[in-house]
Amino acid sequence: MPVTQDSTAKQSQKVDVLVVGAGFGGMYALHKFREKGLHTVAIEAGDGVGGTWYWNRYPGARCDVMTIDYSYSFSDEIQQEWTWSERFCSQSEILSYANFVAEKLDLLRDIKFGTRASVVEFDDATQRWRIETEQGDIFDAKFCILSTGPLSVPKGVAIPGADSFEGELYLSARWPHHDVELDGKRIGVIGTGSSGVQIVSVVAHQASHLHVFQRTPSFSLPMRNQKLDPEYVAQIKKHYNAIRAVTRMTFSGGTRPASSRPLFSVTVEERNAMLEEAWQTAGHNLLGIFSDLLLNKDANDVVADFVRKKIGETVKDPEVAEKLKPRGEPIFARRPCLDTNYYEVFNQDNVTLVDCLTTPIERITPKGVIVDGKEIELDVIIAATGFDALTGALLSIDIKGREGASLREKWSEGARSYLGMTIHGFPNLFTTAAVNGPSALANFILLNEQNVNWISDLVDHMTAQGHDTVEATEAAEDRWMERIAQLASKSLMPKANTWYTGTNIPGKPRTFPMYAGGLGKYTEDCQIVANNGYEGLTFRGQSATPTVHKARETA
C-alpha cells in the first residue's frame, strides 16, 4: 500500500520497534526490546504510565487480583525491592508501583506521553509500519506492538440528556486527577459492574443521599482485604520465584485455590462448609474450591444460590435484597465483583436502589435523572457504565495491513488472530494480552510477560534466520479461532450478556473472543508453536521466498 502523500511530507522517526501503550504490557515490551539493543519507543495517550491504573482513579478503585500475584515476575530485583501493603491493593498503590518500575528500568526517556495512535499502516514497498498519531507524529517501525489493553475505551454515558446535566458528571474510567469533593452531596451511580460496586461501597459513606441505578445486578463476593503481615511478605519474597513458576501454569495465573474436585463429589454438608469458609476468608476462593463451576450448570446453580442466600441475609429489606440478587445468568459468567461491605450499604437510610430493569433511566435533565416519570435531583452523577472491551482500543485505530487491508473490515464479524498475538495479513504487528488470548480471564501482568517473551523469542528466531517479516497463515488463524470456540463451548462464561461477549455495546457481534482454557494451557499452546519451528507462521526474507511453517491440528 503506498503511503499517502500527506503523510510522506511529514518527517518520520525511524525505530525498530514502536510500542503503543504504556500500561503493564507496553512497559515490559519497551524494556524487553530495548534490552535486545533494538531502538524501541513507546507512545501513550495518558500523561503517565500504568494504563488502566492511570485512568481508573475513581473512589474505591482496587484490584481484584491479589497483589503478590498482580506484579511483574521477570525481575527478582523488582520483586524483592517492592513491598505491597495489602492483600488487594488500591489504585494509587498500583500506580506508584508502575512508576517505581518505570523509574527503576529508566523507561520514561523512551515513552512519548500524551500521544495517541490514529493510523497504523503497513507499507508494502518498505515492509515497515507507519504509525501516525493524533498529535502529528509519524513513526517508521519494523515491528509494531499494540499493548492497548482490553478495557481502555469507556462506553460513556449513552443516555439522552447527559450533556444537559448542570451538576458534576464523572466517568469512572476518566476520573479527574484533582480531588473531587463528594461529602454531603446527592450522588447517583449508574452501573453496578466491578467499578460501580467499588464506587457505591465508598461513596455511600460520603453522600447525603446515594441513588444506585442498577440494570443487571452483579454477583459480588467479599474481598476480605487485609494488611499484609511482614512475616508473610518475607516468606513470599523468599520463595517468590518458585511461587511464580507454579502460578504461571495455573488457570488464572494466581495463587488462589484451584481444586480438581467436582462440586457433587462431596456431601451437601461438606460443600456448605467449604462454601462458608471461602465466603468468610476470601470470596474469590469460591471460584476455585470446586473444579466444575464454569462447566456444570447444576454445580454453578448451587454456588449462585449460596451467594443469593448471603445477599438475602445481609440486606434487611426483602424487596431490595430480591432486586440485588442476580438471576438468569450463571455465576462467574459475568466477572464477579469483589467488595467490602457492598450489600451492607443498602441497609443505610441514605441509600436507594433504583431497579433500571423495571424502571429504566428515561433521560438525564439539568437537575438529575428521570425514572418512571419522576425526577431524582442529583448534584453528582458517576457513570460506571463499562467499556467497549477487548477490541475497542484496537479498532479505534485505523489499522491497515498488506495491500491496504483494513483490520476494521477483517474484524467486522468478530476479531480473528493467531494465539491472540499475530494477525494474518498484518506482518510484524503484535498484540499483547489481547482478544483471542486469555486476556482479562488471566492475571494480566503475567500474561503480558508471557506474550512479550514469546514475541521476543520469535524476533530472535527471525534475526537468526535472516527473516524480515512474520505473520500468521490464514489456515493457522482459522484453526486457532476454532480452538477458541471449542474451549468457549465447554464453558458457561459465554452464556451471559456482558463485555466478555460484546453484548454491552449495541451492534457489536456476539462472540466469546477469549481463550477459556486458562493461562497455563495457553502458555503450553504457545510454547508448542515455538517448539515446532513456529508452525502456522509465514516468514519472508529480503531475498528468500516465503517460508511457511505449517500448523498441526490443535488438540
Q: What is the DSSP string of 61-84?
A: -B-SS-TTTSS--S-HHHHHH---
- Chain residue whose CB lies nearest ligand NAP: 193
Binding to ligand NAP in span 371-400, by CB under 6 A:
384-387
- Residue 119 gets the label, from left (phi > 0), alpha (psi -120 to 50) or beta, of beta
CA angle 317, 321, 322 (to 5 degrees): 120
CB of 370 to ligand NAP, least distance (A): 13
For residue 191, the minimal CB distance to ligand NAP (Å) is 3
Tell me the closest approach of the beta carbon of residue 83 to ligand NAP, in angstroms: 20
Coil, helix or strand at residue 212: strand
Q: Which of residues 488-527 bind ligand NAP (CB under 6 A)?
A: 499, 504
Asked if 222 and 338 touch (Cβ cutoff 8 Å), the reply is yes
Based on CB atoms, which residue is closest to ligand NAP, 518 or 536? 518
Residue 412 beta carbon to ligand NAP: minimum distance, rounded to whole angstroms: 22
User: Where in 180-239 is the site for ligand NAP (CB under 6 A)?
Assistant: 190-196, 198, 213, 215-216
Q: How far is the CB of 347 from ligand NAP (least distance, A)?
A: 21
Q: How far is the CB of 426 from ligand NAP (least distance, A)?
A: 27
Nearby residues of 214 by Cβ (< 8 Å), 6 or more positions away: 192, 196, 323, 324, 353, 354, 355, 356, 357
- In the range 134-153, which residues lie near ligand NAP by CB under 6 A? 151
CA-CA distance, 538 to 315, in Å (whole number)? 58
Query: Hey, which residues does 41 pair with through a beta bridge?
Result: 18
User: Looking at 35-43, 58-66, 232-240, 461-469, which segment touches ligand NAP (CB under 6 A)?
Assistant: 58-66
Interface pick for ligand NAP out of 159, 171, 212, 397 (rule CB under 6 A): 159
Q: Compute the distance between CA of residue 427 and CA of residue 429 in angstroms, rounded to an integer.
A: 5
Show the cell assigned to 108: 520514561
Residues 441-480, one symbol each (x = binds ligand NAP by CB under 6 A, - = not), give: ----------------------------------------
Residue 323 is a binding residue for ligand NAP (CB under 6 A): no
If one asks whether residue 335 binds ligand NAP (CB under 6 A), the answer comes out as yes
Site size toward ligand NAP (CB under 6 A) is: 27
Rounded to a whole number of angstroms, the minimum distance from the CB of residue 13 to ligand NAP is 34
Whole-number Å distance between alpha carbons of 228 and 324: 32
Q: What is the rounded CA–CA span in Å between residue 210 and residue 446?
A: 38
For residues 71 and 385, which CB has a smaller minimum distance to ligand NAP in the complex?
A: 385
User: If binding is defined by CB under 6 A, does position 361 make contact with ligand NAP?
Assistant: yes
| Residue (of 418, 396, 19) closest to 407 by Cα position | 396
Find the shortest distance in angstroms from Cβ 503 to ligand NAP: 8
User: What single letter denotes the amino acid at residue 155?
Assistant: K
62 binds ligand NAP (CB under 6 A): yes
Decide if residue 434 touches ligand NAP (CB under 6 A). no
What angle in degrees, to the nearest 10, is found between the helix axes of 24-35 and 444-465?
30
Binding span for ligand NAP by CB under 6 A among 57-65, 110-118, 121-129, 406-414: 57-65
Secondary structure of 496-543 in HEC code, one letter for each residue: CCCCCCCCCCCCCCCCCCCCCCCHHHHHHHHHHHHHCCCCCEEEECCC
DSSP string, 434-482: -TTSSGGGS-HHHHHHHHHHHHHHHHHHHHHHT--EEEE-HHHHHHHHH
Q: In angstroms, what is the minimal distance from the CB of 86 to ligand NAP?
A: 13
Show contacts with ligand NAP in window 75-104 (CB under 6 A).
none
Rule CB under 6 A: choose which of 66, 440, 472, 519 binds ligand NAP. 440
Residues 331/307, Cβ–Cβ less than 8 Å: yes
CB 32 within 8 Å of CB 54: no
Residues of the shown chain interacting with ligand NAP in the complex, contacts defined by CB under 6 A = 62-64, 151, 158-159, 190-196, 198, 213, 215-216, 335, 356, 361, 384-387, 440, 499, 504
